[in-house]
Amino acid sequence: MHRRRLLALLIVAAGLLAVVAPEAALAHGFGGRQTLPIPKWLFGWAAAVVLVASFVGLAVLWPKPRLERPAERRVAGIPQILDPLAGLIGVAIFVLVVYAGFAGNQTTTNNLVPTVVFYLFWVGLAIASPIFGDLFKALNPWRATARAVGWIGGRVSRGGLPTPMAYPTKLGRWPAAIGILAFAWVELVYPDRGDPSNLAVLALAYAAVQFVGMSLYGSETWNRYGDGFGVFYGMLARISPLRWAREGLFVRRPLSGLTTLDIVPGTVALLCVIIGTTSFDGFSAGPAWSTIVDGLIDFWRSVGFPQGTALELSMTVGLVVSVLIVAGLYRLGVLGMQSIDPRDTTPTNEVAGRFVHSLVPIGLAYVIAHYFSALGDEGQRIFYLISDPLGTGANIFGTSTATVDYTWIGANAIWYVQVAALVIGHVAGLVLAHDRALVSFRDGRTATRSQYWMLAVMIAFTSLGLWLLSAANS
Amino acid sequence: MTPPLAHVGHWAINLLYVAPLFIAVAVLGYQAMKDRRRLKREGDDVRSPPPPPAAS
């Protein structure tokens, strides 16, 4: 009776807040173009309910690991010419982008470079990889160049090329994490990010680092651990039911590819960088950040920095703190998991690595939720840029007069896609963590208990994601 | 100075986003505590089995 009364009270309180909340928002001019049937925060509650229901469903209906030993089936052969051909296309695109950056019109919207780098490459490939598999590995211009140089060098030199050095275990995926953090800094903080020639210089600098890494440790090893984009798209491709290999095209259960992700240092850092920087992108567009950033700018100015540098430093601090908060949340979940079985003396870092693959679909969810509408809007520029890549008035394919249609999707539809991406991503994360717990803990009951904490982490990330999106849209 | 209560609506809405997390942590924490007590009880039972009935 007491519980029923409490439940009734909670429902009444939620109802009252639902009525009051939109009024409060409208009083300050909020509301935007979205006309949602319920307040946005209720979506957060609904998402939490879905996660709890999924957790209970997994505990009851998923008693044995199903993804840990991924079975795959070869469905088609792949012509040997496809790999070098795809590499050649990748190199051609890279050369065109760099050339357009230097030789083309320096206006952001009239040059191919910003659209290709920030929308088609960064967001487009991130969304395509979990569907079609590791496309970037085939198109990777740096890997293709290194392989071509290696092939030619092996034939020209008498004793063959020297064997690459052994990759330091401690380095793990740290170079990739640093590379993606640097890219995120350029995307979110660097004031000249829209300048095509600057982007071309940065692309060449990134390529140079990749060539040094590949020449030291070999192209495949560097692609797997050192190249930020190669590692990130490679991880996302493990969600895909498709795996492309020299031996052919293989089909497997979606998500199962993630269970074979090798646990090396820097993997947790890389995923926290993805989630944290995307979170900061949303947070920095909201009202809470504008209050914080004013204080930070004042501080940097008080120690002698000019206004522009003070803003960059403040944004950099925000970016790094966002990554640290995400890392802290995950760490809390792992520590909670460890507390379930006091007899388990596995080091915390090892447990963190064991469950890190569950963060991959969350990283994807954050990227989709934050950037898919930008890809749909700004990505349309490619239709006119493909005819006029340098912005010089050319009309190669007759599409140079194409325009951007910002009404291709409504504000409500964007919100629903964002919510769906976050919920599906976090449920996928729960599934992966539950499956791994079943092989990591001594029995099903302990495995389920260990996942209480992962459930809390997933609810935290979902609530955070929805709050950031609602703040950015307000 | 703007009275802080003028912005209470915004803060209330922000808190509403965090509420599911607080509720989940509270419920899961309670459940975890119950589990730990039960396991401890079961462990005690295994370690100290009840004394055999005295011979009559």
Model confidence pLDDT, tens digit, residues A383-437: 999 999 999 999 999 999 999 999 999 889 999 999 999 999 999 999 999 999 9
Tell me, what's the pLDDT at B5?
A: 56
The ipTM (two decimal places) reads 0.72
Model confidence pLDDT, tens digit, residues A63-108: 999 998 888 999 999 998 999 999 999 999 999 999 999 999 999 9
Tell me, what's the pLDDT at A29?
A: 34
* Amino acid identity, position A214: M
Torsion of CA A139, A133, A455, A59, to 10 degrees: -160
- In this prediction, residue B6 has a pLDDT band, given cuts at 50, 70 and 90, of low
Identify the top-confidence range among A121-125, A161-165, A469-473: A121-125
Mean pLDDT of chain A: 89
Residues of B in contact with A452 (CB under 8 A): 28, 31-32
Model confidence pLDDT, tens digit, residues A101-140: 999 999 999 999 999 999 999 999 999 999 999 999 999 9
Tell me, what's the pLDDT at B1?
A: 46
Distance CA A378, CA A380 (A): 5
CB–CB contact A463 B9 (8 Å): no
CB-based contact A176:A267 (threshold 8 Å): no
- In this prediction, residue A160 has a pLDDT band, given cuts at 50, 70 and 90, of confident
Q: How far is B2 from chain A (nearest CA, A)?
A: 14
* Amino acid identity, position B4: P
- Establish if A287 touches chain B: CB-CB under 8 angstroms: yes
- In this prediction, residue A448 has a pLDDT band, given cuts at 50, 70 and 90, of confident
Q: Print burial letters for A215-254: b (CB count within 10 Å at least 16), e (below 16).
A: bebbbebbbbbbbbbbbbbbbbbbbbbbbbeeeeebebeb
Across A38-47, A287-296, B28-37, least confident range: B28-37
Give the residue ranges of DSSP H helices in A238-359.
267-283, 287-302, 307-340, 348-354
Q: Print burial letters for B4-31: b (CB count within 10 Å at least 16), e (below 16).
A: eeeeebbeebbebbbbbbeebbeebeee
Give mean pLDDT, residues A269-273.
97
Q: From the CB of residue A295, how many other CB atoms can be counted at a distance below 10 Å?
A: 9
- Among A24, A48, A455, whose Cβ lies nearest the Cβ of B9? A24
Distance CA A198, CA A287 (A): 30
DSSP string, A365-406: HHHHHHHHHHHHHHGGGHHHHTTSTTSSS--SSS-TT----T
Percent of the residues in chain A that have a pLDDT greater than 70, as a whole number? 92
- In this prediction, residue A32 has a pLDDT band, given cuts at 50, 70 and 90, of very low
Residues of A in contact with B14 (CB under 8 A): 288, 467
Which residue is associated with the tokens 């050339």?
A99
CB-based contact A127:A375 (threshold 8 Å): yes
CB–CB contact A467 B35 (8 Å): no
Model confidence pLDDT, tens digit, residues B8-27: 666 777 788 889 889 988 98
CB–CB contact A25 B13 (8 Å): yes
Give mean pLDDT, residues A201-220.
96
- Among B20, B28, B32, whose Cβ lies nearest the Cβ of A44? B20
- Establish if B5 touches chain A: CB-CB under 8 angstroms: no
Strands A242-245 and A72-76: unpaired
